Structure 1
Amino acid sequence: MQKEQILKQYFGYTAFRAGQEELMDNVLRGRDVLGIMPTGAGKSLCFQVPALIFDGITLVISPLISLMKDQVQSLVANGIAAAFINSMLTYNQTIKAIENAKNGKYKIIYVAPERLDTPEFLEFAQNADISMLTVDEAHCVSQWGQNFRPSYLKINGFIEKLSRRPVISAFTATATSEVKQDIIEILKLNDPFIMATGFNRENLYFEVQKPVDKYKAVMNYLENNANKSGIIYCSTRKTVEEVCDHLIQDHYSATRYHAGLSENERTKNQDDFLYDRKPIMVATNAFGMGIDKSNVSFVIHYNMPKNLENYYQEAGRAGRDGTPADCILLYGGQDVITNQFLIDITDDKNDLDPETLEQVKEKDRERLKQMTYYCHSFDCLREYILKYFGDRTANFCGNCSNCNTNFEDIDITEDAQKILSCIVRMGERYGIKIIIDTLRGSKAEKVVKLGLDKIKTYGIMSGIKEKRIREIINHLVLNEYLMLTNSEFPIAKLTSKSRNVLLNGEKLTMKIVKEEAREAKPIKQKAVVNSDLLNKLKELRFKLAQEQKVPAFVIFSDATLTDMCCKMPRNDDEFLEISGVGKMKLERYGKAFLEIINNFDSDEILQPVSSTYSLNEICSFIKESIQLSEEMIPISRFTDKINALLLQRCDKKISAKKLAEYLTLQGYLEIETTDGKNAKIATAKGEEIGITTILKERHDGESYKQNFYNITAQELLIDNIESIMEAL
């Protein structure tokens, strides 16, 4: 059976996502692969589909007991023979599972790394026909990763004990270049095909809030987003208990999860969340790694995580089905102190020698700084995250709180000079808090004891609020006019750029929020479906899930139910056209869901919202409002500008592909084929109007061509926007 047939028959999809097909094809050729794909991008299919094509067994090594259970349930629901072997099973159950595996009953077996060196499993593996070994959450192999697991170091030794080396595939959602190299070397991947699909999750809305009362901020969100399922992450067990208790007192159906609970209670609470009995989970970061719940509509971080890797992984548990979801971070200054404390007392890496452990802690402190900068940035939050992971993107996404907030630029040159001068006079020996106290003329005992009340810059900013001075200092750090040391108590020091401000009169500006800022709102779904029908389908799904003792998303995801409401299938063939419906699910559930849809009054179905503006009015608005760039920009950045305006007038969205197709039809671009790969490059006609094709290099060393557009080319596209929009 071909991979396309398997994708549809077992998983219910008609097309592969970015990177999936390339990874599958290389695995099927027998080549090791490393896939770096964001949460929700479909990593699992990259090894599950080839597993069904290979003759032998596929072993999937995962540290995540909950993920194994969820994925095996989903595979079995799709008609695929699968099992897991981990600490959830008793000894007798483990022996039975291994016996079944010996008898060829499973195509895919999930196994915890701790089980690899047990005599029973090793004896089975050495005699089994293992076609592929997949390492999920592969970043756990690196001590420089955010979730280092010493048990992952056993994997290569296990592979070497097998009678035949299988194809090795490794997958992770987040990996810096350092961690990526560790994965390749420690797992001894053989000339691996490496695919990084990009980390962008367009359906996720990002927002940073700095509320005085964090719990009140949570209540405000929940009141405006009723009946949604989500996770609230807290940094400590105590905070988890407090927030969960308050939510229950306020009549919200919430549960909790942290390492201080008994294993039975953790399992029960997790199941309550997965089965939608308790739609709100309050947890430490001990919860969620590998949770495959597709209908998580929001992730709120009550406290700032200690690094962006953890934050993006945890935030990425929202919107796994591709529907819009919110990622809200509630920042407070105490969060930095708490995380610094957690880094300093960490003992989960106690297998490392003292010198290496200190290096790891220093790396953790650097990550904490980058996380803190994210919370203070006034630039596009999505761009900040993607840039951290090495992705190139536009500096305006239209779907984060910063992009949707009305800022104005203010001159901070004089204030910056005062701050830098004060740090110099203080001998570059102190942290931000004491610098601010000195600038504001504090009478605090420490300031007086150190004699800082005697220096010339003492009290020089006494009329400015502490919050504003801290914002300016954060801006100076973000833009490398100041640096903070990686010590336990970070010290502010000047950089080479500081001299330009202090001595050469370089002007500095900073964004601040205008008095009347536009309310930041996430992207809305383009189509409105009948809520009564959707609720009926959800009720049926819940009933079936209860009967079968599986989470609701194992039956169908929210995205699949929404697609049913939009397409209104009337028979088996039409039901198979729904995204997420395969042959097995049609046989199991088709009749029941079709009965509800066919008995529902079709006249009540709401159609997608149509724009109240004509095409001419929309295009005129774009022409009047667009801000063209004086610099050369890629087409993706240009489409971001247009789409930000389209959101204000209609539910249409223009893609870079559509613009490129238009330019090709008009003769400004042409298709060039090199080594079997097609690329659109500027023609002589295109170069005349300001399109330049540049040869660039990816992180993996492969070269590619990218087009950049000057202001003349941008003007041409805007002048013809009506023709382009007509094709949408």
Structure 2
Amino acid sequence: MTSPQSILEHTFGYTRFRGPQREVIDTLMAGGDALVLMPTGGGKSLCYQIPALAREGCGVVISPLIALMQDQVEALCAAGVRAAFLNSSLPPEQAQQIKAELVAGELDLLYLAPERLLQPRTLAMLRRVSLSLFAIDEAHCVSQWGHDFRADYLQLNCLHEQFPAVPRIALTATADRRTRAEIAERLDLADARHFVSSFDRPNIRYRIAQKDNPRRQLLDFLRSEQAGHSGIVYCLSRSKVESTADWLVQQGFTALPYHAGLPAALRAEHQRRFLREDGVIVVATIAFGMGIDKPDVRFVAHLDLPKSIEAYYQETGRAGRDGEPATALLLYGLEDVVKLGQMAANSEGSEEHRRQERNRLNAMLGLCEITSCRRQALLRYFAEELEQPCGNCDTCLEPPQTWDGTEAATKLLSCVYRTGQRFGAAHVIDVLRGSTSEKVLKFGHDQVSTYGIGTDLSSTEWRGVVRQLVVRGYLEVNGEAFGALQLTEACRPLLRGEEKVQLRKLPARVRRPESSGRRSVEEVDPADQPLWEALRNCRREIAEARGVPPYVVFHDATLREMLATRPQTPEALLAISGVGDSKLQRFGDAFLAVLRDFPPQ
């Protein structure tokens, strides 16, 4: 038997193990099970690849993505490892050859998708061969609360039942305490040793800003900091992915779209180019990225708010896998919050599931609004404390404008306490603002001492206070008690007056352009004149084709707002006054085509 240290040195070319790798490998070598939580780029793969090579038999790796299998197998084969994968991309004769090699004991590692593994004929085949271990990669896919849930993962507990003597290792880069417990329960890993590495990715600089002409913000970022670098730009919708990629190409970048609505062959080609060419930017929905092994991704930019901190952490973690400096840029706006809130409210599943989604969205928004070190808040979400501010996030490098929120925080915390720590943010804010709602009166909360003491702040401002106190650990949201706000031990010094808290100022609300009164074409800024004429021509052509007056298509006021805001997606166009669902469906594509020829300045 070749030793793990020898395999590390001679097969993979490293001289020493990192973090808990050696302990994980020793556990598997001794026949034990392991649950490994290690950040992207932390060396998870070696935790199962080395013992698979050192133990007798073939290691079976369950992976959710074909592209990831191909990348890892290519890398292993280049290192001299007898590795292969079985998935739908293989022709039948090649798949048959790999099965024959497995049965003959000629493979060290075999990668399978969960749905392939669970087929009766696959399980029967595996029972005929010597197995060194099972590795369940991206194990957070088993979590029904998570953003990457895969139903097939729920059935992987059969490995414990059918192969009790084969050690198992479950690995993920993204799992809070709740998700770790769920992984252990659903995969029958109750007796597994848990190895939890630091979530910190110190080489990634976290930057979060409110949207203020996001295309201009992205362009400034790319041109000033990321020229010639590879990166990922995430968007919430498929249409925004495609329009953003087209626009980046117009700006001189090599940009490729990626989303689930594109043909599989095109997606594979774009992913291949991203992995193998320099300076390629992929513009994608979250359909892209899990398992991406490209080490030199220098930036990840979000043009829309991720729906949870778990998603944000995992997606940003695709930058800087090589340990070199990388940047995570997030631009967010109120429209993101509204859209994601609606998605959570309308999502399928139980009320508990929807409540968890709302709580995670609030935590994500709290991270955006915090004034202290973002890395400390991010790590705290995963139950890890960073003693000192990181010095490598925007709030450390350029502290935001703040206000003394001590009095407001004390009022809020006191109101949570006075109302019994049984109610969500909306009700607590109603009490603070002196609402006479049925619910306030029903519970007699118009009689508590904190009733009406918060009229100096709007409901929106109070929600910002709530989110910031949650993310700082003064409050927690109990997802099992209908989102009730509850005090933590950390809030005691604040309530006793021994501590002060600075809160981030809410940005000034951007007002829509006024549309009252008549305005002439001559009043349009000369720089905007070409776009104004193009919008009018588009309207005229549609009106002529339909045999109706131009104003039946859109009023001038609507065109003016398009001119001022320059929406680039159907969602943004729908927010324009005078654009409804029907007009969006009938006319939206034509106007968006015009607007994309005139990107925001």
- Output the TM-score relative to the length of structure 1: 0.60
- Say if 2:234 and 2:302, in contact at 8 Å, map to a contact too: yes
Residue in 2 aligned with 1:117?
Answer: 118
Structure 1 CA distance, aligned partners of 2:171 and 2:285? 24
The reply on whether 1:33 has 2:26 as its aligned counterpart is no
Residues 413 and 501 of structure 1 are in contact (CA less than 8 Å); yes or no, is this contact kept in structure 2?
A: no
Distance (whole Å) between structure 1 residues aligned to residue 424 and residue 192 of structure 2: 47
Counterpart CA distance in 2 for 1:459 and 1:134 is 54
Deviation by residue 1:238-257 (Cα, 9 ceiling, x = unmatched): 22122112111111110011
Q: Is the 8 A contact 1:411 1:510 kept in 2?
A: yes
User: Which runs of structure 2 are paired with 1:483-522 in the superposition (5 Å)?
Assistant: 509-511=501-503
Amino acid at match of 1:98: K
Correspondence 1:346 to 2:347: yes
Alignment check: 8 A CA contact 2:406 2:502 kept? no
Q: After alignment, is 388-397 or 117-126 more displaced? A: 117-126
> Cα distance, 1:117 vs. partner?
3.1
Kindly state the Cα deviation for residue 118 of structure 1 after the two structures are TM-superposed: 2.6
Structure 1 position 3, deviation (Å): 1.7
- Deviations along 1:403-452, whole A, 9 cap, x unmatched? 1124576434566689999999xxx99959x98xx99xxxxxxxxxxxxx
Distance (Å, rounded) in 2 between the aligned partners of 1:480 and 1:167? 38
Assess, with a 3 A threshold, how the Cα gap between structure 1 residues 268 and 167 changes in structure 2: closer, same or farther: same
* Equivalences for residues 305-320 of structure 1 within 5 A: 305-320=306-321
Once the two structures are superposed, residues 168-190 of structure 1 have per-residue CA deviations (whole angstroms, 9 ceiling, x without a partner) of 11111122222222222322236
Q: CA deviation at 1:5?
A: 1.9
**Percent of matched pairs sharing the same residue:** 39
CA apart distance, 1:468: 7.2
Query: Which stretches of structure 1, 4 residues or longer, exceed 6 Å deviation after superposition?
Result: 414-424, 456-460, 464-470, 480-487, 490-497, 499-507
**Letter of the structure 2 residue corresponding to residue 172 of structure 1:** T
Match of 2:215 in 1: 215
Q: d(CA) in 2 for partners of 1:183 and 1:237?
A: 31
- For residues 502 and 174 of structure 1, what CA distance do their matches in structure 2 show? 32
CA apart distance, 1:157: 2.0
Which of 368, 378, 394 matches 1:385? 378
Corresponding position of 2:188: 188
C-alpha deviation, 1:475, in angstroms: 3.9
> Would you say the 8 A contact 1:229–1:297 is kept in 2?
yes
| Equivalent residues of 2:363, 2:470 under 8 A apart | no
Q: Please tell me the residue identity of whatever aligns with 1:309.
A: E
Specify the alignment match of 1:376 in structure 2.
369
Aligned to 2:77: 76
Structure 2 partner of 1:264: 265
1:94 aligns with 95
Contact conserved, 2:210 with 2:331, CA < 8 A, in 1? yes
Distance 1:223 1:468, change over 3 A: farther
Q: 1:397: which partner in 2?
A: 390
Alignment partners' CA distance in 2, 1:483 and 1:160? 38
Alignment of 1:139-218 (within 5 A): 139-162=140-163, 165-189=165-189, 191-218=191-218
- CA shift, 1:151, in A, is 0.4
Question: 1:127 aligns to what SS in structure 2?
Answer: coil
What secondary structure, in the 3-state scheme, does the structure 2 residue paired with 1:67 have? Answer: helix
Distance 1:494 1:188 in 2: 32
Q: What does the per-residue CA deviation read over 1:496-543, in whole Å, with 9 as the maximum and x for residues that have no partner?
A: 99x999999898542558xxxxxxxxxxxxxxxxxxxxxxxxxxxxxx
Q: What letter matches 1:124 in structure 2? A: M
Whether the 8 Å CA contact 1:475–1:510 is kept in 2: the answer is: no
**Relative to structure 1, is the Cα distance of residues 496 and 322 closer, same or farther in structure 2, using a 3 angstrom cutoff?**
closer
In 2, the alpha carbon distance for the partners of 1:180 and 1:484 equals 19
Give the total of aligned pairs: 482
CA distance in 1, matches of 2:38, 2:118: 29
Helix, strand or coil at the partner of 2:165 = coil
1:358 deviates by 2.6
> 2:134 touches 2:166 (CA, 8 Å); kept in 1?
yes
Contact 2:228/2:279, CA 8 A, preserved across alignment: no
* Greater Cα shift, 92-101 or 393-402: 92-101
Q: Residues 480 and 391 of structure 1: is their aligned pair in 2 closer, same or farther, counting only changes over 3 Å? A: closer
After superposition, the CA RMSD in angstroms is 3.8
Q: Note the residue ranges of structure 2 that are not aligned, 5 or more in a row.
A: 435-450, 506-601
1: distance between equivalents of 2:313 and 2:140? 14
The structure-2 alpha-carbon separation of the partners of 1:421 and 1:398, relative to structure 1 and needing over 3 Å to count, comes to: closer
Conserved 8 A contact 2:363-2:471: no
TM-superposed CA distance for 1:213, in Å, is 1.2
SS at match of 2:311: helix
Going from structure 1 to structure 2, the CA distance change for 1:3 and 1:483 (only over 3 Å counts) comes to closer
- Letter matched to residue 20 of structure 1: Q
Separation in 2, partners of 1:196, 1:503: 34
User: What's the offset of the Cα at 1:284?
Assistant: 0.6
Letter in 1 for 2:95: T
The answer to whether the 8 Å contact 1:72/1:83 transfers is yes
Residue 365 (structure 1) aligned with residue 354 (structure 2): no
Instruction: Give the secondary-structure state (helix, strand or coil) at the position aligned to 1:259.
Output: coil
